[in-house]
Amino acid sequence: MPIVNEERLIKNFENLVSIYSPSKKEGKLAEYIKDYATKRHWDFTVDDANKATGGDTGNIICWLPGMSDEYVLVSAHMDTVEPAANKKILIEDGIIKSDGTTILGADDESGVAVILEVLDYFSSSEKPVVGIEAVFSISEEIGLIGAKNLDYSLIRSKYAYILDSGGPIGTAITRAPTHFNIDAKIYGVASHAGASPEKGVNAIKIAANAISRMRLGRIDQETTANIGLIHGGTAVNIVPDLVEVKGEARSLTESKVRELAEEMERCFKEAAEREGGRADVNRHLSHKGYSFSEEAKTVQEFAKAARAIGIEPRFVSSGGGSDANVYNQNGIEAIDVSTGMTDVHTTHEFIKISDMIKLAELMIELYRKWGV
């Protein structure tokens, strides 16, 4: 008899992606999960992370006890990117996709559906070796803010698996970069562009000079930088006195990204000084990176479970961030695991049914044999 109930898993996935749940509006999706848990008598609570995020629900934390007192965390985020309203879901040749006018939302409802299946499996048959602590987080897509505001006093686990990346099943991200944001406000002096330009200091010119001196794009194999937003000026005949510029820098090596962020700040300040303007630069850590060898417990247990179901694990580094970064920053050893989601954040996004089944099998195996 197959371990995974394919029909139940796919039904849940279809139901979940059909609920409109953009960041800060995960409330309806949370209702679905809470209903589901209540009907099955699973123990759960909702924290008040939304007080900080302004959303309509907090993170859901759900517990299923195991044979020991130890818990291992598994998580997926409830929110999706846009466009996500009025989805039409198509299933063709074992592949689930949208009709091409919206995203699918496999990022990250595939993770949510798999977690529900794992909980369903263990609540209707054997007990897992360790307890399952499932976190359904909010507002991951707008800066991991559900995980950042999670009530960690409720969390029982030392180890975590975040089901929120792509690639063949058996892939896990064991290295992810430290991420800095750089927000600059550049002040010039306003003046009429035709009558008295010499009285003005052009903030757009300062920004342009600063940005042209920055190292941007791929700096090296593990380091990137970007200026992504620029906003300023009031009219074509006025020398602009304010420009706001937002950028970021990432690296797998923290010292490199710190240096790079400092350098970006310096470019703004020096350019402002040359032109007689001023730059206020706010450079702040968004989240720390992480790096694990194959000796790390989460990595070892994941590899063991993958091999047990006939999959060779793949450990990769990522240029992106996930809730796993935030868990690691909070002292919980976490890696980000592929659900098979493909072309996420586009209207071509899709997922294979067979991949979701494989991941559910892998996670069931993991909870069956954790630490054994």
Q: So which residues are the catalytic ones?
A: 79, 140
What Cα–Cα distance (Å) separates residue 50 from each residue in 148, 149, 163? 11, 8, 22
Is the bond leading into 183 cis (omega within 30 degrees of zero)? no
Q: Put residue 117 in one of left, alpha, beta given phi > 0 → left and psi -120 to 50 → alpha.
A: alpha
- Rounded to a whole number of angstroms, the minimum distance from the CB of residue 241 to Zn ion is 40
**CB–CB of 157/334 below 8 Å?**
no
For residues 8 and 120, the answer to whether their CB atoms sit within 8 Å is yes
Nearest residue (CB) to Zn ion, 202 versus 322? 322
**Is 336 among the residues that bind Zn ion (CB under 5 A)?**
no
Min CB(14)–Zn ion separation in Å: 19
* Cα–Cα distance, 368 to 366 (Å, whole number): 5
CB of 291 to Zn ion, least distance (A): 21
**If you ran DSSP here, which 8-state letter would residue 128 be given?**
P
* Binding status of residue 109 toward Zn ion by CB under 5 A: no
In contact, 261 and 282? CB cutoff 8 Å: no
Of the pair 98, 191, the CB lying nearest Zn ion is at 98
Answer yes or no whether residue 164 interacts with Zn ion by CB under 5 A: yes
Determine if 323 is a binding residue for Zn ion (CB under 5 A): no
Residue closer to Zn ion by CB (options 108, 333) is: 108
What is the nearest approach in angstroms of Zn ion to the Cβ of residue 172? 15
Torsion sign, CA atoms 266, 272, 276, 282: negative
CA dihedral (303, 108, 353, 94) in degrees, to 10, reads -140
Q: Is 355 among the residues that bind Zn ion (CB under 5 A)?
A: no
248: contact with Zn ion by CB under 5 A: no
Of 26, 47, 79, 108, which lies in the binding site for Zn ion, with binding defined by CB under 5 A? 108
Q: In this chain, which stretch among 35-43, 90-98, 163-171, 256-264 interacts with Zn ion, using CB under 5 A?
A: 163-171
Determine the Cα–Cα distance for residues 123 and 117; give it in Å rounded to an integer.
Answer: 10
Nearer to Zn ion, 192 or 345 (CB): 345
How many angstroms from the chain centroid is the CA of residue 164?
7
The least CB distance from residue 339 to Zn ion, in Å, is: 9
Closest CA to 72 of 144, 161, 6: 161
361 scored as a contact of Zn ion (CB under 5 A): no
- In the list 107, 248, 333, 355, the residue contacting Zn ion (rule: CB under 5 A) is 107
Q: Does 349 bind Zn ion (CB under 5 A)?
A: no
Q: How far is the CB of 162 from Zn ion (least distance, A)?
A: 9
Query: Total number of residues binding Zn ion (CB under 5 A)?
Result: 3
Residue 117 in contact with Zn ion, rule: CB under 5 A = no
* Choices 100-108, 125-133, 152-160, 263-271; region in contact with Zn ion by CB under 5 A: 100-108
Q: Provide, rounded to whole angstroms, the least separation between the CB of residue 213 and Zn ion.
A: 34
Closer Cβ to Zn ion, 55 or 277, answer by number: 55
Structure tokens at 299: 């990595």
Alpha-carbon distance of 33 to 112, in angstroms, equals 9
Nearer to Zn ion, 105 or 131 (CB): 105
> What region does 170 belong to: left with phi over 0, alpha with psi -120 to 50, or beta?
left
Interface segment toward Zn ion; rule CB under 5 A; list 82-90, 162-170, 187-195, 327-335: 162-170
User: CA 339, CA 361: separation in Å to the nearest integer?
Assistant: 12
Which residues of the shown chain bind Zn ion in the complex (CB under 5 A)?
107-108, 164
